Amino acid sequence: MSPETGQPLKDQVRKKAIHAVDTAAPTNNGETNHQVLFVGSNSAFTFEKTVLQDGQFAGRTAFIIDPVPPAKNVFPFMGLPFEIRLMVYRDVLVLLSKKYIHGGHRIQPAQFTMVARPLHTKGSSTRRVGIKTTEPELKTIISLLHVDRRIRAEALPIFLGANTFIFGRSALCTIFLDLFATQRNFVKRLEITDKIIIRSARSFSFALANLMHLEELVLPATCLEPDNAVLFEEYFYTAEIMGPLAPGKEYQAVERFMGVLDTKHSCVVCGKVTKKGCGLRRAHPCKHDCCAIVTRLLTDFESELYKVMGWTRREVRE
């Protein structure tokens, strides 16, 4: 360590700016006595060693501590009360309209806005996954989530939990959820508009089983055909859902899954879109028995789930 300059040290525990300087001084026997002085602060600063030239302390060692001035025109956002920051996050991160997410495939419509796709580096087999967008509203959100780790930790739960994420295919939904690792648990509403990809259905079901706060999963009516019930088999085998299913607990697992599952049915007569419970929420529900159609779709699919898993309603309820 140079005795002339301070040396900044990283404090991995307290995250403080710490500087150390060698206060080297000669002793009577001609040797040099080295002592290290540590100075720390919550804010960044410069630390300089000098020798006083004038006055009664001339020749004595002195240290100049100069706080680093904050950058100009930078608002101290993290200095706001936590409640105020949450209000800002909700105002900025909650989208006024639902946003579609696609994987950048050529067959996907160009109007889809948010991209979650595998990126392959030229000349390398490394597979990287990322998100990008060309829509100004989403650009603001993505930029905000990358400003600071502390902001990301506070804002991401609101972004994932308050918005509905819509995907053309299930494989793209799985990629999107994998981007956020454990933070994907904040996701509450998902929708698939096209179909479930059979070859990746297992990973899709596994991802769904780990979304402990999922409140709504909307699938197209074609996905609720009886033959498709087997695609969700992994959902009930995933230990994270509630631990290994004990005898008699199978009904609870199916009931939880059916509680979040929904579908959309477009009436061929009036064009109204009906979902589960629309007949209760709407002032003027469709009069062409569409609510009954949706209910029948979900009921038949539930019965097929029991068959796929080798259960029956009578057995599990007893």
Find the mean pLDDT for residues 58-76. Answer: 76
| CA atoms of 96 and 211, how far apart (whole Å) | 24
Mean pLDDT in the chain?
A: 71
Query: pTM value?
Result: 0.64
Model confidence at 161: pLDDT above 70: yes
Q: Supply 260's token pair.
A: 């979040």
Question: What pLDDT sits at residue 234?
Answer: 83
Return the minimum-mean-pLDDT range out of 24-28, 173-177, 286-290: 24-28
Question: What pLDDT sits at residue 86?
Answer: 92
Model confidence at 223: pLDDT above 80: yes
How confident is residue 217, by pLDDT bands cut at 50, 70 and 90? very high
Pick the residue with more confidence: 187 or 291?
187
The number of residues in the chain equals 318
Token match 């994987």: residue? 103
User: Minimal CA–CA distance to 231: which of 195, 187, 260, 178?
Assistant: 195
Question: What pLDDT sits at residue 81?
Answer: 94
Best-predicted range by mean pLDDT among 36-40, 117-121, 159-163? 159-163
Phi then psi for 245, rounded to 5 degrees?
A: -70, 115
Question: What pLDDT sits at residue 174?
Answer: 87
Q: Are 183 and 157 in contact (CB under 8 A)?
A: yes
Instruction: Please report, for the chain, the start and end positions of each structural domain, with discontinuous segments joined by +.
Output: 7-67, 78-214
Three-state SS at 51: strand
Q: Are 31 and 45 in contact (CB under 8 A)?
A: no
